[in-house]
Amino acid sequence: MNLRVIGAFLVALLTFAVTPAYSQDDGQRASTGGAQTLEDILKRQKGLNVDESFRRDNLGDPSKAAPLSGDLGTLGGISKSDMYRGIRYSETDVKVSNTGPAAKILVQDGGMSWLLTRQGGIQSYAAYGAGGIIALLVLFYFIRGRMTIEGGPSGNTIERFKPIERFGHWCLAGSFIMLAITGLLLLFGRSVLIPIFGHEANSTIATFSIWVHNNIAWVFMASLVLIFVMWVAHNIPNKLDLVWLAKGGGIIGNAHPSAKKFNAGQKIIFWMTILLGASVSMSGLSLLFPFEIPMFAKTFGMINTIFPAMGLPTELLPHEEMQLAHLWHAIVATTMIIAIIAHIYIGSVGMEGAFDAMGSGHVDLEWARQHHDLWVEEEEAKSSRGGLS
């Protein structure tokens, strides 16, 4: 009896061992006749990646075409579903009368994920990021108060920035503020402005915003180059910056760490502005000239060369290039907005005497000695040399 049970068990085990193994996925796929499964739908609802190859590669087979007399004969072995799948995944050789860029892309379903990311993650990042930094700065102001000139102003001034430096700074600042405001109006138009002001008002605001955004961008890019050329030599990081950072820049407490023309905090703002400004300009140019300057596939290719494990897509449809450029533009711009709000705070209400540097160009000598002592020494040495010659 026991032998029979053991024998049956062994036979059953052997049966399972030699039976071709079907994965759960294959089983489900077979049960839907090759169409999408419940697992695919659940994955999509959770925002997970779904392997679309079951339909991307299911485009019919002309070699198995039914005879002309058959139901599918005139379609050459390709059903209408096969044909639409081919259009959807850009596998069909489409002929169109429009010769414009990307005109042959009739269907591109990446638009939904672009829209959801724009209305979801990016709007949240912008709202919580900008709102959060403003709330933190207000809190910081009430805790720390305004940073004052220790011992009060001396009454003597020193030229901090030349007119051309201030001109470049204010061109960059003015254009950036307008770009930020109009960019945020465009980002929040559908979800915030339409419910409050209605469609017509939002249409007027959006038309104005896109005009300002597209045309003022040139001033931003030109002044970014001007600022880089004028200040890059003063913003090369050095050991002094580590000491400055270790002392927290003197923001907390009464320490005044030594600094030359720009301290470590200003250098961080400078390089953030230059690098993110260049990036937002590149993606902005890509958006200004739709489909003319695709750059993400090439960038992904370079990233893959350095980090092969990332496996980023290197073949992108023209619309995917535009969607990525738009999302990247919004992410980088929002990061800049958050950082620049902090920069505006410290350069105005946060520190006594700081605004004069960019306002009149002349700062109080005592302020300069407390925040840029080594720069003052350099300037005084230059003056004395000039006086002797």
Partner 1 sequence: MKTMFVAFAFTIAASFGAYYVMSGMGFSSAEMQSSSSVRLK
Find the shortest distance in angstroms from Cβ 64 to partner 1.
35
Binding residue for partner 1, selected from 20, 33, 47, 100, defined by CB under 8 A: 100
Find the shortest distance in angstroms from Cβ 103 to partner 1.
7
Question: Quick one: tokens of 292?
Answer: 């003319």
**Strand (E) or helix (H) holding 42:** helix 38-45
Based on C-alpha coordinates, what's the Rg of the chain?
Answer: 31
Find the shortest distance in angstroms from Cβ 82 to partner 1.
28
* DSSP state letter for 376: H
Residue with smaller CB distance to partner 1, 149 or 178: 178
Residue with smaller CB distance to partner 1, 274 or 288: 288
Which amino acid is residue 96, in one-letter code? V
Interacting stretch for partner 1, rule CB under 8 A, among 99-107, 135-143, 274-282, 306-314?
99-107
Q: Are 137 and 341 in contact (CB under 8 A)?
A: yes
Closest CA to 347 of 227, 270, 264, 266: 266
Q: Are 358 and 347 in contact (CB under 8 A)?
A: yes
- Residues in contact with partner 1, shown as a per-residue x/- string from 241 to 280 under the rule CB under 8 A: ----------------------------------------
How far is it, in rounded angstroms, from Cα 342 to Cα 324? 28
Strand partners, 159: 362
Q: Specify the 3-state DSSP secondary structure of 94.
A: coil
Q: Are 62 and 76 in contact (CB under 8 A)?
A: yes
* DSSP state letter for 147: B
- Residues in contact with partner 1, shown as a per-residue x/- string from 278 to 297 under the rule CB under 8 A: -----------xxxx-----
Residue with smaller CB distance to partner 1, 32 or 360: 360
Residue 186 in the binding site for partner 1 (CB under 8 A): no
Residue 212 in the binding site for partner 1 (CB under 8 A): yes
Inter-CA distances, 242 with 239, 264, 342, 374, Å? 5, 8, 21, 15
Find the shortest distance in angstroms from Cβ 182 to partner 1.
11
Residue 101 in the binding site for partner 1 (CB under 8 A): yes
Phi, psi of 362 (to 5 degrees): -115, 135
How far is it, in rounded angstroms, from Cα 348 to Cα 141? 12
Interacting stretch for partner 1, rule CB under 8 A, among 80-88, 94-102, 256-264, 265-273?
94-102
Residue 97 in the binding site for partner 1 (CB under 8 A): yes
**Strand (E) or helix (H) holding 362:** strand 362-364
- Residues in contact with partner 1, shown as a per-residue x/- string from 336 to 365 under the rule CB under 8 A: ----------------------xxxx----
Interacting stretch for partner 1, rule CB under 8 A, among 2-10, 61-69, 164-172, 379-387?
164-172
The label of the residue with tokens 């000598």 reads 365
Binding residue for partner 1, selected from 76, 77, 153, 174, defined by CB under 8 A: 174
Q: Which residues bind partner 1 (CB under 8 A)?
A: 97-101, 103, 163, 166-171, 174-175, 178, 211-212, 215-216, 218-219, 222, 289-292, 358-361
